[in-house]
Amino acid sequence: MGRWEPNARERLVRAAVDLFAEHGYDATTVTEIAERAGGLTKTTFFRYFPDKREVLFVGQEIHSRLLADAIAAAPDSATPLQAVAAALDAITATFSGDRRDFSARLKVVIDANSELRERAVFKRAALAEAMTGALNKRGVPDPAASLAAELGVRAFYIAFDAWSDPANQQTLADAARQTFDELRAAIAALD
């Protein structure tokens, strides 16, 4: 019960995505996820996640911190959009090519369930909020801070959608940088 399970968190996440993909989110129980993760127990599951849904959104806090830290670490001379670009570089660097297949499967699972889609929208808002807060701390006032953060989050998700297609050849870092530039151009051209 209380024993240390190597990589339990990651094994649980992968087991959950597998089972949700096979049987659907609603039909899968926490006990089944724990078992599929190499004979773990429900108790172990709840040591890592508050409920079945959160297993898919474990990245929210890690990603929020990563984005905020990168903005805080940007040089004093960086403009708001340059600081956001640095945050994009920091987060996309953690998505190596071998995560592409997993990301694609996760996306299919989330898209198939309204409760999960709703939770995903909330994660996105949390990431934007983390960047906005970090920009505010650099002295960037609202609405400039929240608009810059929104462009960054938007670039990340558009690039992520493209990147998680197995046919895509770009790195996520390159896709996000390119998308961010496209969004900047599009917003400048808005009338």
Q: Which residues contact 123 (CB under 8 A, 6 or more apart)?
A: 57, 59, 60
- Considering the complex, state which of residue 65 and residue 117 has its C-beta at the smaller distance from a second copy: 117
Q: Which is nearer to a second copy, 26 or 182 (CB)?
A: 182
Residue closest to 147 by CA, chosen among 106, 112, 187, 176: 187
Cβ atoms of 127 and 63 within 8 Å: the answer is: yes
Query: Which residues 151-180 are close enough to bind a second copy by CB under 8 A?
Result: 151, 154, 158
- x/- mask, a second copy, residues 75-94, rule CB under 8 A, reads ----xxx-------------
Q: HSE on the CB side for 8, CA within 13 Å? A: 18
- Confirm or reject binding of residue 121 to a second copy (CB under 8 A): yes
CA dihedral 59, 65, 69, 72 (to 10 degrees): 130
Q: How far is the CB of 191 from a second copy (least distance, A)?
A: 5
Q: Which two tokens stand for residue 64?
A: 């929020």
Answer for which of 27, 62, 93, 187 binds a second copy (CB under 8 A) is: 187
The one segment of 66-74, 97-105, 146-154, 162-170 that binds a second copy by CB under 8 A: 146-154
Structure tokens at 52: 């079945």
Which residues here bind a second copy, judged by CB under 8 A? Answer: 79-81, 117-119, 121-122, 125, 143-144, 146-148, 150-151, 154, 158, 182-183, 186-191
